[in-house]
Amino acid sequence: MKRTFEQLELPRTSTRDGRPEAPDGETHQASARPALADCPELMTVTEAAEYLGIAVSTCYLLTKRAIDTKGSVGIPAVKVGGRTMVLRDRLGEWLHRGPQP
């Protein structure tokens, strides 16, 4: 028997910030990790584009080049869980030496 969305049972919450409680009463470890955007070493592509004063689509193109060429060309970036994140300190170095063709 298929359930409708309204019939699905939602996980119990007991922590102050609303994180789901595990069956044994402990909170899930994954939800205890800091958000990627809160890491001082990483910035989102949107943040990098805003910082550089370029379009977000251009920033994605340049980060893709860096990922595809293992950092030899483009804005220094990494993939973290499917998200493209720009390396903040390496972005400064990249700007200082100038974009490579």
Query: Rounded distance, CA 83 to CA 3, Å?
Result: 32
The closest of 41, 81, 87 to 66, measured between CA atoms, is 87
72 exposure class (CB count in 10 Å sphere: 0-12, 13-18, 19+): exposed
Phi, psi values for residue 57, rounded to 5°: -65, -40
If one compares 86 and 7, the residue with the highest pLDDT of the two is 86
Q: Where are the domains of the chain?
A: 9-33, 39-101
Query: Rounded distance, CA 87 to CA 31, Å?
Result: 23
How confident is the model over 35-79, as pLDDT tens digits?
555 667 889 999 999 988 999 999 999 999 999 988 778 899 999
CATH architecture of 39-101: Orthogonal Bundle (1.10)
If one compares 84 and 29, the residue with the highest pLDDT of the two is 84
State the average pLDDT for the chain: 75
> Tell me, what's the pLDDT at 12?
52
Query: Rounded distance, CA 93 to CA 74, Å?
Result: 12
